[in-house]
Amino acid sequence: MHDELAVATPPVTTNPTAPIENNPKESGWRRERDAVSLPESFRTVRIPKNGSIFRKFLAFAGPGYMVAVGYMDPGNWATDLAGGSQFGYTLLSVILISNLMAIVLQALSGKLGIVTGRDLAQACRDHYSNPVNFGLWILCELAIAACDLAEVIGAAIALNLLFNIPILYGVILTALDVLIILFLQNKGFRYLEALVIALIATIGLCFAFELIWSTPEMGGVLRGFVPTAEIVKNPEMLYIAIGILGATVMPHNLYLHSSIVQTRQFEQTALGKRQAIRFSTWDSTIALFFALFINASILIIAAAVFHTAGRTDVAEIGQAYHLLAPMLGTSLAAILFGVALLASGQNSTLTGTLAGQIVMEGFLNIRLAPWLRRLITRMIAIIPAVIVTAMYGERGTMDLLILSQVILSLQLSFAVVPLVQFTSNKKKMGQFVNPMWLNILAWFIAVVIMGLNLYLLYRTFWG
């Protein structure tokens, strides 16, 4: 048990296999951790001590994909569709840059959890005063509810497009994901990861077919990944670019990742933690390249199908769904688009409800039954969606979707800054502290995100 509560301090011996001692006074943390993160799944996934590097990597693979779903959620679809239909392939470079930023931040998040034995919420609770912590918790809960709201609406729209289920009923049906999570997590955390990976594969397969049918111009696609000055000079292009950048990194993903990396039974030694950091970083980096493929595919399809035909007004998911079949000449194009949307929405709600539990337990040290915590998270998202849908119909849900992205942009800096601050602190991270080049890069990304989100909020409310 002593090893399980280990935090990062410089080892007292030169032996890299020696356990790292847990002494809060020496480690830079004010107190020992109150409880483990996500206790029902903590250190439940075995890591083979012998075998090839590939076999060990497979044991660590999984958390990165659970994080990646937040980068391909329905909330991102509208900005990708608008960017592709209005400006062709030009904004592919923005998707690439935002994805590279996400890779850095998620690597830091995984490292924080592995090294300190704390998730980001627990680290904030230890470091900041009670009023600051309470404020951070409220902001984070709002962000999770906003993100969950986007996923609920996205899944409901998909059910409406595919099966003509009214959006109001579709919103209510999405609450059933709580039962799926509870069932799979009781079976083992790997089952939950397997479902998430299967849904990501479904989304990827659907868009692979869409890309083949849309026959994009490969030269234009490759040029699109190279940043151009036009993005900054064109106000409308800049606005959509900032929307893509600002809404790509999901704040709850940073809390989620720092917790679920602790489901692995890696050795609580300097060598064991270093190996866990390496494999965790590989896992999240590879998974986020899948997210890059999905987001880039949406923009490429919008550019190849809508922009090429002069339909620069396509910015809504339902509009794109109804136009794909006649413009590509096959009804299967619209069906696969709807299936991908449904898988995306359902996938994101699975991880969003899990993040809600982690945040409440971490910030407040309050332990609720998992089913109750997830039900609360779902109700916070579903109730406003039901009210707005009943009163204003589908148009109201689209406005709610936009509002959810604005709330996410507001909260993001309050997750990124503590993450960079903690991983840059030698007392807290010991020998695993960020090197100078990574510190500079991480703070640069944090400042860029803060600046872009402030500009996005200004344009949204006063621009």
Q: What is the pLDDT of residues 292-314, one digit of tens each?
A: 999 999 999 999 999 999 998 88
The predicted model gives 276-282 an average pLDDT of 97
> Is residue 19 included in any domain, yes or no?
no
The predicted model gives 210-236 an average pLDDT of 92
pLDDT(279) > 50: yes
Give 310's contacts (C-beta < 8 A, 6+ positions apart): none
> Is residue 182 included in any domain, yes or no?
yes
Measured torsion, CA atoms of residues 460, 90, 447, 143, in degrees rounded to the nearest 10: 50
Q: Which band of pLDDT confidence, cut at 50, 70 and 90, is reported for residue 227?
A: very high
Q: Which two tokens stand for residue 310?
A: 């002069």
DSSP state of 303: I
Q: Is 198 helix (H, G, I), strand (E, B) or coil?
A: helix
Asked whether 109 and 327 are in contact (CB, 8 A), the reply is no
> Is residue 456 included in any domain, yes or no?
no
Residue-number span of the structural domain to which 102 is assigned? 39-411
454 burial class (0-12, 13-18, 19+ CB within 10 angstroms)?
middle
Q: Which two tokens stand for residue 163?
A: 């099966």
CATH (domain of 360): 1.10.4160.10
Q: How far apart are the two ends of the chain, measured CA to CA in Å?
A: 55
> Is residue 441 included in any domain, yes or no?
no
> Is residue 346 included in any domain, yes or no?
yes
> Is residue 438 included in any domain, yes or no?
no
Give 126's contacts (C-beta < 8 A, 6+ positions apart): 29, 30, 31, 33, 118
Asked whether 383 and 437 are in contact (CB, 8 A), the reply is no
Angle between helices 120-127 and 130-163 (to 10 degrees): 160
The tens digit of pLDDT for each residue in 428-446 reads 999 999 999 999 999 999 8
Q: What is the pLDDT of residue 124?
A: 95
Q: What is the pLDDT of residue 308?
A: 92
Q: Which two tokens stand for residue 445?
A: 């990304």
Q: What is the pLDDT of residue 405?
A: 64
* Count of domains observed in the chain: 1
pLDDT(399) > 90: no
3-state helix, strand, coil split of the chain in percent (to 5) is 80, 0, 20
The predicted model gives 124-139 an average pLDDT of 91
Q: What is the pLDDT of residue 156?
A: 84
The Cα 425–Cα 136 span in angstroms is: 20
DSSP 88-150: TTTTHHHHHHHHHHHHHHHHHHHHHHHHHS--HHHHHHHHS-HHHHHHHHHHHHHHHHHHHHH
- Comparing 111-120, 237-246, 300-309, 389-398, the range with the smallest average pLDDT is 389-398
Q: Which band of pLDDT confidence, cut at 50, 70 and 90, is reported for residue 11?
A: very low
The tens digit of pLDDT for each residue in 154-177 reads 888 888 889 998 888 888 787 776
> Is residue 154 included in any domain, yes or no?
yes
The tens digit of pLDDT for each residue in 313-332 reads 887 888 899 999 899 988 89
Asked whether 198 and 347 are in contact (CB, 8 A), the reply is no
Q: Which residues pair with 264 in a beta bridge?
A: 45
Q: What is the pLDDT of residue 396?
A: 63
Token look-up 């935090």 returns 7
* pLDDT, mean over the chain: 84
Q: Which band of pLDDT confidence, cut at 50, 70 and 90, is reported for residue 182?
A: low
Q: What is the pLDDT of residue 18?
A: 47
Q: What is the pLDDT of residue 183?
A: 74
The Cα 142–Cα 360 span in angstroms is: 12
Most confidently predicted of 244-253, 371-380, 410-419: 410-419
The predicted model gives 211-229 an average pLDDT of 94
Q: What is the pLDDT of residue 394?
A: 61
pLDDT(427) > 60: yes
414 burial class (0-12, 13-18, 19+ CB within 10 angstroms)?
middle
Most confidently predicted of 103-112, 348-357, 397-406, 448-457: 103-112
The predicted model gives 222-227 an average pLDDT of 95
Asked whether 134 and 356 are in contact (CB, 8 A), the reply is no
Phi-psi region of 368 (alpha: psi -120 to 50; beta: other; left: phi over 0): beta
Give 251's contacts (C-beta < 8 A, 6+ positions apart): 140, 143, 408, 411, 412, 414, 415, 416
Q: How many C-alpha atoms does 124 have within 13 Å on its Cβ side?
A: 31
> Is residue 379 included in any domain, yes or no?
yes
